[in-house]
Amino acid sequence: MLDLGNDEAEMDIDAGAFWTSPNPDHVSFNPEDASQMVEMGWASVDFSLTTPQQRSDLQQTGHNLTAPPNLAIPGPESPIRASVDGNSQLQLQGEEARGTYLSSNMHHPAQALSLDSRSRLSNTSPNALPAPMPADMEHLITFPGSDAFDGSPQSSGIGAGSVLGDGLDWPAEFSLDSKPGWSNQVIGLSSESDPFLLRHYLYNVHDTHPMFRLHFRKILDDKDMQTQIEEQSVPVGNVPLQFMMVNEEIWQDGLKSVERIVSGPHTEESDLKLLNEIVPNELGSRLLKLYTQCVHPRFPVLSLSDLSQLLTDDCCIGIKSTVFALAAPFTFLDDELSVSKGYSQLPTENLWAIAYRNYLRLSQFSHLSLLQLSLLLLEMPPLNFAVAESPNPWALSCSALAIAESLGLNIDPLNWRLPRHEIILRRRLWWLTYVQHIWHALVFGRTSHIDDAAWDVSRLSPDDFEGTDHPDPDVKNAIKQHIPTIMAMSDLSTIAADILKQFYTLKAIRQTSSLTSLLDRAKPLRKRMETWMKGQSVLSKATSDLNDDDLEKSAPLRLSHITLEILIYRALLRPLSYGALQSAEQNREPTSFIFENCYACAKVAVEFVAALNAKHFSNYWHPHARYQLCYISTFILMNFAQSATQEAALRNKALLSKWRDSLRSLSRAWPLAKLATMRLDAVFWKGLSAVVHGAGPDNPASRLLKEQGSQTSGQG
């Protein structure tokens, strides 16, 4: 067994203790060092997991159902069960009608009628079945029992094969876009709400997991999951698919922000006048100093020349507004502003409105300032820290990438005939754009729009940064301190991009359904992570061994590293559902080490965040850090839902409780922790049993919750 006595050291240094001995004839699970962990010949080990047989030979009821004229009645080969009105079932057999409709006493999509046959069905039988889908559409959706599940690359799309008819009239309750006051967006594979965790959730008859102002709507089930719910007849596919249904009331702050932007006859001259009224010269100079000390060293999107001209009329109005807005949270570090702005807060909402209007004007032209403003706008703090953003930041991130490519920043300018300060600014801007885009793609669960074949800019070096000789010693020290961190974050983001490509695209999931294939892809990525970590001395130490200064400068980088560790382990957990493990014939010992390391990774994450204090909270953090905290919650919930033993379930639940306590305390002092706190509180409000429901009533997590519930009832 692994020595998990020092989980954090294991994650920070060895990072991945499930990698085993390279001996193909004898599997050893006690590696002496990290090098053995990545050299294991996984191709020689059979980790494939079998899928339980679909239930067949269903008992036919005594009702006589009339099929529509366009339904091909199958032959006697493959049994199918179809529910029509919740009471009557027809046992069909054959190759053309594929799928399983399970009985329900409530209306379900299985009852949908084809548009071209409703009139005829109304005169025949209310229990008629939908028509089969044309052959050219069969690749879209697959139902249990379909022989289209061959795992071949030709099975494109989310699913393959169908029994749905052409032009089905689904009930209005199942519409995604016609519910007044509710927005919808697909839940991406890499987002903090993991679709492979959501496959375990309890859904109602409308395929919805309702919460307060955010619901999860299930569209496709995972074809590899054993069906535990008798009423379920949702289509299945290679990838579980859900949508997030958001009550638009929670985005009213954003709507008001847009109204501020577009209201009134604003011109550039009127915006400049408004900006000067909000931020007079003296206040502007103080805010600029705070920005240069607190924000610029961590996010050098502007050159020193840009900063020196910021208070002049030649500076871009939008950039000036964003600089003042981003500096506003640090007024407590200025003696005068700490007092004066303690009574009268700076109206940052008006500053951001000015910046957005200026962005629209600048977008008619093509200058580096347009990209700089785009990147600064992406740093805008959320209007409500407890609410996830609309798709707008992702759209702006894609726009920033398009602007960067239009300006040629995807081409290395090292040998160009340009002033040196412009060359290094272009290089920094490309890498800042790259980092922003990759992490927005990751946390929003979207596919990166960066094509590896379309850019060629070498890694950042210390020579790409200005300010190491800055006259202000505080600024100079801050810049020197964060240059290695920015370079490390750029390198880490290239690994993040490959993790997205290898594990979090539809194509990648279709090609890596088995544990063996997942491990084959994970091994080189893990090796790159280890190589990267060796270059970061501060990350080689456990959190408990770091002093405040080390933790302060490395905290965002460490959180990003933990997020990528979680993403790799999340991918490895996909085929390791409790039902799949129970039906697997292979040696289960390798999977036990994956579970052990998942727990170790989660424990490291919890201990790291718990070590942060007010000094760390007061530093500059990128807005996407709040989603990174949500990843920890999702990961612990995933570990709990897929616990292989009762002991593991108990341990994961205890860690979940510890994490929840930490989040609740953190969110009181750190606004970025509010979203993760709200999300986890919602899970407990609905009940943990609803999270593990799809894993089956006999899985260890469900049994533990039942036992603890019985004990509580007995004590009451």
For residue 503, what pLDDT is reported?
Answer: 96
Tell me which H or E stretch contains 362: helix 348-362
Domain segments of the chain: what residues? Answer: 7-45+512-715, 266-449
DSSP string, 548-584: HHHHHHHHHHHHHHHHHHHHHHHHHHTT--HHHHHH-
State the amino acid at position 597 in one-letter form. Answer: N
What CA–CA distance (Å, rounded) separates 356 from 376?
11
What CA–CA distance (Å, rounded) separates 335 from 152?
66
> 């501020």: which residue's tokens?
260
For residue 48, what pLDDT is reported?
Answer: 35
CA 632-662-294 angle, to 5 degrees, is 80
Give the β-pairing of 208-209 and 214-222.
antiparallel
Which residues in the chain show pLDDT less than 70?
A: 1-168, 224-234, 583-589, 710-716
Model-level pTM?
0.77
For residue 130, what pLDDT is reported?
Answer: 36
Give the side-chain half-sphere CA count within 13 A for 260.
18
For residue 674, what pLDDT is reported?
Answer: 96
Sign of CA pseudo-dihedral 219, 223, 229, 231: positive
What CA–CA distance (Å, rounded) separates 490 from 422?
20
622 contacts 382 by C-beta, under 8 angstroms: no
Strand (E) positions, 145-210? 168-169, 182-186, 208-209
Give the side-chain half-sphere CA count within 13 A for 522.
29
What is the distance of C-alpha 150 from the center of its chain?
29
Sign of CA pseudo-dihedral 328, 333, 336, 342: positive
Residues 6+ apart with CB under 8 A from 252: none
For residue 49, what pLDDT is reported?
Answer: 34
